[in-house]
Amino acid sequence: MTTHLEKPADLLGFAGRPLGTSDSMTITQQQVDLFANATGHHQWIHTDPRRAATSPFKGTIAHGYLTLALAPLVVSQVLRIRELTAAALNYGINRVRFPAPVRIDSQIRATVSVRSAEQKISGVESVFTLTHEIDREESPACVADVIVLYP
């Protein structure tokens, strides 16, 4: 489901409301390896399938920050603003938790709701709560309050 709005100021009336759920995506070992290369975070639980097979996870898992880094993709899938005249800017994060690991080749998707939206001098500041769910798992992979500024 995608929510369509005319302009960023329309978010001001959306506090507490859901926007939608992203498409399902598969987290691959190649994505994890590329993320490890980009960030320099090569811990074996993420990048060494043979060693990780002996771990409690029985295989490699995605970096929590890789899941979090999907936030712009997720928000773009559930929110379309027709009169967006400037870029949507990542402004920060208020709270992030990683309750469950994302095993390689898992399917994840995220639900997005508007926690708050305020008109600021610099534009509309929106806080989106993203809950990344893992297919066939009870606990979410990531719950984060992501701040986006629409100048």
Q: What pLDDT band is residue 87 in, cutting at 50, 70 and 90?
A: confident
Please state the pTM of the whole predicted model: 0.93
Return the pLDDT at 104.
Answer: 97
- The neighbour count for residue 64, using CB atoms within 10 Å, is 20
pLDDT, average across residues 73-100? 93
CA distance 32 to 61: 8
Q: What pLDDT band is residue 24 in, cutting at 50, 70 and 90?
A: very high
- How many residues comprise the chain? 151
Given a cut of 80, whether residue 140 has pLDDT beyond it is: yes
CB-based contact 99:143 (threshold 8 Å) = yes
Question: For domain 3-27+61-150, which architecture applies?
Answer: Roll (3.10)
**For 45-72, how does the pLDDT look when each residue is reduced to its tens digit (9 = 90+)?**
999 999 999 999 999 999 999 999 999 9
**Amino acid at position 106, single letter:** S
Q: What pLDDT band is residue 106 in, cutting at 50, 70 and 90?
A: very high
Contacts of 114 (CB under 8 A, 6+ apart): 11, 14, 15, 16, 17, 19, 126, 127, 128, 129
Q: What pLDDT band is residue 9 in, cutting at 50, 70 and 90?
A: very high
What are 146's strand-pairing partners?
Answer: 93, 128
Return the pLDDT at 84.
Answer: 79
Return the pLDDT at 86.
Answer: 78
Given a cut of 80, whether residue 120 has pLDDT beyond it is: yes
| The residue to which tokens 């709005």 are assigned | 5
Domain ranges of the chain: 3-27+61-150
